[in-house]
Chain A
């Protein structure tokens, strides 16, 4: 298969074939272990299977790869080795053929790259799920990054999700309504393919965060379209590269703090939130700024939902079971009129304890995300998350969890010690609760 996502049938076959193959591998391993009574090399096994999924999903790019990216981010949900391989989806996908890149630029911007730019690197420096990025230089010398959307990504979203939904239905409880979740993902992905919208968001985020040490590229509309996005080039290192440099604790704290402040600034004013909190979207610049890139996945949550979501924090801090239960019911985590002792209790206990874990950093003035015990607990809870094969919670949880868990995941990898004082002020303001965090 080349650079073109083919028919719905072909894409569906690849997804189904991969899930069957991986499922078969896991079943065989289970039987083998049962019969022999011995446990094999789990690490290698998970890693091999992940490579299989990655190889096949990479061919598809687009939605399928987005799902892989999501899986890698929800660290803990997957075996570590699996998540490690799948995290490649955040950075490395084989780029599309150079001829196609020229053709897309011509079609979208009216001329070939060598006519539009002083320099254009035909080799993509980053390639991910829905597009790839090339370095270029404008005729006035400005260095830019040109993001080019893969062909037919938009057209394949619906068909890929339809296949995904069919597969998901095999695993979840009969009669569960998964449509709202899939619709939410579909709408978000469709918006993500509109690069004009992303360009506008870049401008809006720049205005909002100019007071922080946050660097956001500048959208260059003249060289952009719905499928090509031109923005100023940001130099910096991704999380992996930064950690490999063996940074000092002070540097780890500095960048961690910037991420933490960025997250809490965003929740003010019920505006758009950068909802793709994975390491590939953040850069640590040499002048100690946090570069934020990729504004394709931004979300504005309904006011009522978001207010309830944020209320989870004070209710967990107060450790008031009744308040927590009521809020969970309102947010669809628990069924209405749940009581102690019924089947909902297990969900309640799990969700409450998970919430406690998330609220833990706010109970301290300085919280150490490098604490191995905390990392272990987060992983434990995320792994245990699917208590039942029944989807729970408001559909908007998909992206709030992604943002929140993504942030904690990066901070854990950074081993950052975070000063929570500013965030507490922000939360008091947003929740209009002056007594919050005051003992």
Chain B
């Protein structure tokens, strides 16, 4: 989808939210008047009224992805910084339509089963962050599967819930929670202890003769590392 089309969708979605907040509901005629777009133009972008409102959450991630392209050195951010940046920025965006988020986050995102479009977008974004980061440990590959990103996206929705109920000054408690959670994820995926363990095992088996002492096991492991080396070039 091109940028103009996305912008049109976002504009319609935000106008629809404003109308809903003002009048409890909205009609396509009202939306048409508010945005200057004809009903057919609106239907060309959305199948129905509900879809317009539902688009709000995934659109946050799309807007965020566009925004980070403007940050010159975003690639130098650590995983914790990238994830925190995403979380804080989305809070800023949600704050602009907080009433709507308070009314709809539960049924449009949090309790949505199977997972919502928003969570899918978040999972994709986290996957991009993790798979494009050069500091992630090789061994973290064992856990970095689709279910891991979905799990992170699910956990993220808990942070949003926490934020919505946070009455501390300046949402200090949410910020602290985000800081600790993203710090934990970073520690988990950057930690090279397992990588080092593999290095040690490889050395002991191939070069220090451990493989010869336990031939069957040793041969299997040697073959494994040989294959791994040829894959890694």
Contacts and interface: CB of A to CB of B under 8 A. Distances in A.
Contact of B81 (A97, A115, A152): A97
B104 to A, nearest CB: 24
Contact of A98 (B85, B87, B180): B85
A2 B67 contact: no
A152 B174 CA distance: 13
Contact of B71 (A2, A4, A114, A155): A114
Interface stretch (B10-18, B72-80, B111-119, B191-199): B72-80
B222 interface: no
Contacts of B70: 114-115
B89 A97 contact: no
Contacts, number: 66
A119 interface: yes
Contacts of B72: 114, 119-120
A167 interface: no
A72 B16 CA distance: 60
A122 to B, nearest CB: 6
B81 to A, nearest CB: 5
Contacts of A155: 169
Contact of B176 (A4, A107, A122): A4
B175 A99 contact: no
Contacts of B86: 99
Given A3-B179, A123-B76, A151-B170, A103 B67 contact: no
Secondary structure call for the B interface: helix
B71 A122 contact: yes
B89 A103 contact: yes
Interface residues of A, number: 23
Contacts of A336: none
A102 B88 contact: yes
A6 interface: yes
B29 to A, nearest CB: 35
Contacts of B89: 102-103, 106, 112
B80 A97 contact: yes
Contacts of B180: 2, 4
B88 A151 contact: no
A122 B75 CA distance: 11
Contacts of A103: 85, 88-89, 92, 175
B157 to A, nearest CB: 19
B37 to A, nearest CB: 27
A100 B73 CA distance: 15
A56 to B, nearest CB: 18
A100 B171 CA distance: 13
A243 B80 CA distance: 38
B76 A6 contact: no
Contacts of A123: 73, 76
Interface of B: 67, 70-73, 76-78, 80-89, 92, 169-170, 172, 175-176, 179-180, 183
Interface of A: 2-4, 6, 97-100, 102-103, 106-107, 112, 114-115, 119-123, 151-152, 155
Given A3-B179, A114-B71, 7 more contacts: A6-B176, A98-B81, A99-B77, A102-B71, A103-B85, A115-B70, A123-B76
6 smallest beta-carbon distances between A and B, as pairs: A99-B85, A99-B84, A2-B179, A103-B88, A4-B176, A114-B70
